[in-house]
Structure 1
Amino acid sequence: MNDVVIMFVCAGGMSSSLVVSKMQKAAEEQALNAEICATGVGHGKEILKDGDDIDALLIGPQVCFSANELEKVAEENNRKTIIHVADMRDYGMVDGEKILKDILNKLETSYV
């Protein structure tokens, strides 16, 4: 996998920003061309409706209740976006490297 676009949604996009910066650092260390951004669930839903270039949508554990709604938006708009709730422990430990590894594994298995 050479290029990947990952959007991380949480309550307002603030708490996930630190995780995203750690994920970006891990991606750079792996020479992975990754565009990773953080935003709130509402804005993320709008981006998911309008953009078909999002490979993965990560959901912060504090807003895991929004997973079904986001999956429905993706399905209604014919998006192939992988939707995944970040592990609560990894999120709490701000383990961007592990969270990135998990989502990359999901992406790889979905393309098989």
Structure 2
Amino acid sequence: MSSSNSVTVQILDKEYSIICPQEERSNLVSAARYLDGKMREIRSSGKVIGADRIAVMAALNITHDLLHKQELPDVQASGSTREQVRDLLERVDLVLSSDTEQPKG
């Protein structure tokens, strides 16, 4: 594939070159900006350290938001998916916070 099909995006101060159809470039750039913003929010909170952990937390938060929006039209829904995601986020937060409290060696 030629480099004309490639888009370079910057996420958390790193550049990524991604092959993408011309008609999807705008969506890809928007998605990268959104992800970058979420990752910067998490990093600035100081609760999560390390790009890989920040990326996982951002992915979980974005997934949580997506699932929440999908459930909104059905007001009668039990909310079990939302509760499962919330529980998962709490467990990940707990593990990550306990990991950052341990001295690095």
- TM-score, normalised with respect to structure 2: 0.31
Q: Which has the higher contact order (CA 8 A, sep 6+)?
A: 1
Per residue, is there more strand in 1 or in 2? Answer: 1
Over alpha carbons, which structure has the higher Rg?
2
| Higher helix proportion | 2
